[in-house]
Every structure is written in structure tokens, then in C-alpha cells.
Amino acid sequence: MSLIRKILFFTIVVSLQFISPLKAQDLHFSQFFNSPLTANPANTGFIPDADYRLGASFREQWASILSAPYKTVSLYGDAQVMRNKFENGWLGLGGVILSDVAGSGNLRSTKIYGSLAYHQMLASSSLLSAGFNLGWVNKRIDATKLTFPDQFNGVFFDGQLPTSAVFNTNSVSYFDMQAGLNYAYFPDDKTYLHIGYSIAHVNRPMETFFTENGDSSRIAMRHVVFADAVLKVSDNIIINPNAYFTMQAKATETMFGLTANFKLTDGGEKQLILGVYDRLGDAIVPMAGFEINKIRFTFSYDVTTSALNSFNNSMGASELNVMKKGMYSEYDGDKRQSLCPEF
């Protein structure tokens, strides 16, 4: 590696370790479609082919260039309730726990959300949903493990040198809120279309380890728009195209792609899952998985396509998701009709 490339690499790593812990960032999954409650609280209890679901995700990012790679864990569950209390409608109840460790400063994020949504059938082929979540967030950092630009002694960063960066606290906590809407259209047993919009950090909570500085210490609202479809193209193949766009302050992310499920057994109890997604300007994300008896395992890998690939050899992030769906026992022998195509 040339001297210039070493300097650039060093600058990027220092920037990631210094800037990232101090600026508010939402936890991130490439398999956004497998993290329904964080994408939009209106997804709570919005399960077209089941009555409840449980899921877990694990993501490790930038292990090839950071000594302390970003690690994110998510656990979630939601269910449909009170289906017999509303005319052609029901409530969704759910919750999600997120934990993240980022960078050399051991920035730890813990987020616990409870969510509620209402779903109303519109005639027999469409559904409108609205939901919100409320959560408690804690972020904690070990400032003794950080170094800052004014601690560079001309050769390396010396953590023993004095610095002008003074932390007011090493732990911050606050309440957070997200709200969203969904619309789904399912004209026949081979077609399902879905679009949603949500706003995260509606209350714009204050987050800073330094002295509060008015509006600049508040988290910007994050807007999320997504659309997907489930299309049964043959007796053995179901495809699921997805598109996702999010904007927070001046930062944007656009991601789209396609997943295909291949039936391996007559009843569809076993399925092979293959997919590929593109995060524009950043990464290509191939995905593979397997489903057996409504338990789905999917693994994806972010192959970096941005300028960072010169330093990480295109090795971005790995992500594993496990999801279990099911019907209530009361439906045994009289299964509720699925709203989306299935085998």
C-alpha cells in the first residue's frame, strides 16, 4: 500500500471512530424488509400470511478496517389481537429491542420500543394501517478510549496528551417516538402490493455527550418510504421486489432489489430463498436463505462498491436474520385466509 493510500486509510478510520460516536445515527439493517417494526410502526400486526411473528437480526459492519467493528442486534415480536372486536379490522401489538456497539470508544446504544397499530380492511381487496411506537433510548461511551485531532503528536495519536474535547456526560437517555401509515392492495391470490411511509424521532429528542446546544443537539426527524410486492409467477416461484428510501437531515439512502422463493416440497413447507439488493452508491447486497415450516433463515453480505472498497477490499458487512411466523391455535382446521400469495 502506497504512502498516500496509507494516509487516506488512516484518515477514514480516524474519522469513522471519532465522528460516528458523536453524531446521532440510527441503527441500520440491509435486510430492512426483515426489520418491520423499525421500518414503520404501522407494520405492527400487519402480517399478511400469519397472526404473529418473532424475529432476530445480527449485523457486523467494517470488520475488515476497524479494530472494533460495529455490531448490531435486534429482537422483535408482534401479533394481531382483537380481530373479533372490530368490523373488518384488528389491532397490532409489538415490541423491539435493539443493541449496538460501535467504534473504539465502545459507543453502546440500547433501544426498547413498544408499538401499537390499527388495521382496517377497505372492501375485500385492500387494507389501511396506522401505527406508532414509543421507546426508551440509552447511549453510553467510554471517552478514555478515544483520541482526538489535537492529540496528534506528529507521528501518532497520543491519548495522554490534553484535548479540548470535554465530555459533559458519558451516558444519555431519552424517550423517542415514531409514527407511520401503510396501504396494501391484494386483488387476487397471485398479487400483493404494499406501500408505507413513516417518520422517526417525531419528538426530536435531545442527544449529546457535550453541553446542550439548542437545536443542533436534537436528533433530526427521519423520513422512510418503502414499497414492495409479492407476486406468484408460477406454482413453484414467488418473487418479492422491494424498494426503500430514507432521508434524515441532508443524508439519504436508497435501496432496492428482489427476493425469490423457490418451493422445494409439494406443500411449500421447505423453500429456498435467493435475492440481491443495491444500496445506491454504496454496496451490492446478495442474500440467500432457507425456510422450513414458517421459520426463515436469511444471510446477506454487503459488497462495498463505493470508494471505500479500495481499503476494505469490498468487505462491508454481514447480516443474519431469523424469523418465525405462525397462526393461533384457534385457526387449526379453519385457517384464516392469507392476504398475500403463498405456496
Q: The CATH number of the domain where 30 resides is what?
A: 2.40.160.40
d(CA 280, CA 254): 6
Considering the entire predicted model, what is its pTM?
Answer: 0.85
For 41-52, the pLDDT digits (tens) are: 999 999 998 999
pLDDT at 117: 98
Nearest CA among 58, 55, 37, 34 for reference residue 46: 37
pLDDT at 104: 65
Question: Among 137-151, 230-244, 252-266, 286-300, which is the least confidently predicted range?
Answer: 137-151
The answer to the question of residue 166 being in a domain is: yes
Q: Is the pLDDT of residue 10 over 80?
A: no
d(CA 65, CA 316): 9
pLDDT at 145: 76
Strands of the chain, DSSP E: 52-61, 70-86, 89-102, 107-122, 126-140, 171-188, 191-200, 222-232, 237-248, 251-263, 270-279, 283-292, 295-304, 315-326
d(CA 35, CA 322): 10
The answer to the question of residue 152 being in a domain is: no
For 270-319, the pLDDT digits (tens) are: 999 999 999 999 999 999 999 999 999 999 999 999 887 777 777 789 99
3-state secondary structure of 20: helix
pLDDT at 12: 47
Number of domains in the chain: 1
d(CA 130, CA 118): 6
Highest mean pLDDT among 8-17, 214-223, 253-262: 253-262
CB atoms within 10 A of CB 259: 23
Nearest CA among 146, 59, 138 for reference residue 103: 146
The answer to the question of residue 189 being in a domain is: yes
Better-scored residue on pLDDT, 167 or 201: 201
Q: Cell numbers at residue 338, please? A: 392469507
d(CA 269, CA 261): 12
Q: Which residue reads 484518515 in cell numbers? A: 11
| High-pLDDT (> 90) share of the chain, % | 62
The answer to the question of residue 83 being in a domain is: yes
Q: What domain range includes position 214? A: 3-143+162-331
Q: Is the pLDDT of residue 252 over 50?
A: yes
* Amino acid making up residue 146: L
Q: Which residue reads 432521508 in cell numbers? A: 247
The answer to the question of residue 153 being in a domain is: no
pLDDT at 83: 85
pLDDT at 9: 46
